[in-house]
């Protein structure tokens, strides 16, 4: 008789139990290739900078991960415009005053709440597929950001700017704060009723509904969470950049999805993990750094980046859900 703990052939074929390891292995390989090319020059600075920019990917990746976990077709494409609007609102509220940092951050989170509710209203009330609903919402949100933030360049408060750019022993403050956020989100994902419920929804929404799980209510909470984290990223990114700009969220559209998938979460929903976001985020930044170091042109760089990401996803396999 087979032991209950012995994995079945189907499970073994599904791929490694920790597919997110491939993202860290990829990041390590890219880093070694880069420092080999430069003779080791600036290795510490490259790592420190990678940690700084990876935090932005991780923050938006967390929200996108929760959305994707709820099942096939669920994705938030309004993240870039939410970042732009939240960044402008937060800097305006702060007004360069240290005493207004907390109200400014709350304003950014408030923007996320409004955007998340609007996104889900389009999905639920108008029965629009999430990919279309959030993409359509992004155009409206970007229009509001343009109307609100055109010509706006308010510098962040000195204390907030120091925090977003500061380091301790070469480790960015932002990376430490984001690590704490990831631990919190990991607990929410794996140790709370909410986290387990969205995983069940992603694996089989109908079965989850029959089991008494409020599917639509939890999907609403998830879209709000994604937008709130995008709003937080907008405030942090504006502080790091010395002010908000209308295009500062553009690179986070596909990046927010890539870090989730490359990090080992199932693109079909139901299974996800937080550690992989870090490996994937560092990998994406170091990959671009390596190609720039090698002097690769912009067009070829985009092509190679896409091919390498596809290779990582293929090798890792990604966890499979139990959905037939």
Q: pLDDT > 70: what percent of the chain?
A: 86
pLDDT(194) > 90: yes
What's 19-30+43-316's CATH class? mainly alpha
Stretch 25-34: mean pLDDT: 82
CA-based torsion, 127, 131, 133, 134: positive or negative:
positive
Residue pLDDT, tens place only, 243-299:
888 888 888 888 888 888 888 887 777 788 888 899 888 888 888 878 777 777 767
- Pick the closest to residue 90 from 41, 148, 151 (CA basis): 148
What tokens does 215 get?
């599917």
Residue pLDDT, tens place only, 199-248:
999 988 899 899 999 999 999 999 999 999 999 999 999 999 888 888 88
CA distance 16 to 104: 43
Which letter does DSSP use for residue 172 in this model?
Answer: E
Residue pLDDT, tens place only, 59-68:
999 999 999 9
pLDDT at position 313 is 63
pLDDT(86) > 60: yes
* DSSP per position, 236-301: HHHHHHTS--TTTTTTHHHHHHHHHHHTT--TTSS---SHHHHHHHHHHHHHHHHHHHTT--HHHH
CA distance 321 to 268: 7
Q: What are phi and psi of 233, to 5 degrees?
A: -60, -40
CA distance 324 to 318: 16
CA distance 159 to 243: 14
- Pick the closest to residue 235 from 110, 83, 50, 93 (CA basis): 83
pLDDT at position 323 is 47
Q: Mind spelling out the 3-state secondary structure of 175-200?
A: HHHHHHHHHHHHHHHHHCHHHHHHHH
CA distances from 278 to 105, 138, 183, 264 (A): 23, 26, 12, 11
pLDDT(22) > 80: no
| Average pLDDT score over the chain | 84
Stretch 75-83: mean pLDDT: 93
How many CA atoms within 13 Å lie on the side-chain side of 258?
Answer: 22
Residue pLDDT, tens place only, 200-213:
999 888 998 999 99
Residue pLDDT, tens place only, 290-315:
877 777 776 776 777 677 767 766 66
What pTM did the predictor assign? 0.85
pLDDT(108) > 80: yes
Q: How confident is the model at residue 4 (pLDDT cuts 50, 70, 90)?
A: very low
* Bridge partners for 172 per DSSP: 167
Q: Where are the domains of the chain?
A: 19-30+43-316
Q: How many CB atoms lie within 10 A of CB 12?
A: 11
Q: How many CB atoms lie within 10 A of CB 254?
A: 14
Phi-psi map region of 77: left, alpha, beta (phi>0 left; psi -120 to 50 alpha) = alpha
pLDDT at position 18 is 65
* Bridge partners for 168 per DSSP: 171
CA distance 232 to 71: 24
* DSSP per position, 81-96: HHHHHHHHHHHHHHTT
* Bridge partners for 167 per DSSP: 172
Stretch 113-136: mean pLDDT: 93
pLDDT(39) > 80: no
pLDDT at position 314 is 66
């Amino acid at each position: 008789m087979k032991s209950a703990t012995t994995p079945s052939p189907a499970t073994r074929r599904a791929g490694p139990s920790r597919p997110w390891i491939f993202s860290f292995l990829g990041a390590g390989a890219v880093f070694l290739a880069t420092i080999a090319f430069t003779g080791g020059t600036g290795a510490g600075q490259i790592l420190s900078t990678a940690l700084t920019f990876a935090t932005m990917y991780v923050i938006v990746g967390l929200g996108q991960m929760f959305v994707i976990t709820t099942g096939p077709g669920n994705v938030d494409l309004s993240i870039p415009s939410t970042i732009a609007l939240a960044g402008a609102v937060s800097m305006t509220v702060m007004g360069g005053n240290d005493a207004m940092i907390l109200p400014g951050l709350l304003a950014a989170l408030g923007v996320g709440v409004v955007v998340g509710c609007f996104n889900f209203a389009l999905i639920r009330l108008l029965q629009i597929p999430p990919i279309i609903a959030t993409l359509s919402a992004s155009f409206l949100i970007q229009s509001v950001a343009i109307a609100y933030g055109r010509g706006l360049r308010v510098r962040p408060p000195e204390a907030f700017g120091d925090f977003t750019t500061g380091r301790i022993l070469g480790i960015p403050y932002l990376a430490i704060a984001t690590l704490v956020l990831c631990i919190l989100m990991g607990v929410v994902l794996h140790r709370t009723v909410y986290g387990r419920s969205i995983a069940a929804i992603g694996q089989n929404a109908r079965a989850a509904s029959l089991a008494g799980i409020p599917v639509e209510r939890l999907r609403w909470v998830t879209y709000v969470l994604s937008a709130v984290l995008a709003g937080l990223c907008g405030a942090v990114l504006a502080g790091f950049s010395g002010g908000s700009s209308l295009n500062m969220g553009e690179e986070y559209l596909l990046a927010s999805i890539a870090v989730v998938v490359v990090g080992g979460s199932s693109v079909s929903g139901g299974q996800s993990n937080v550690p992989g976001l870090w490996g994937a985020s560092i990998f994406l930044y170091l990959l671009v750094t390596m190609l720039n170091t090698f002097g690769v042109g912009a067009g070829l760089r985009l092509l190679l980046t896409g091919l390498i990401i596809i290779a990582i996803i293929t090798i890792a396999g990604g966890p499979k859900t139990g959905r037939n």
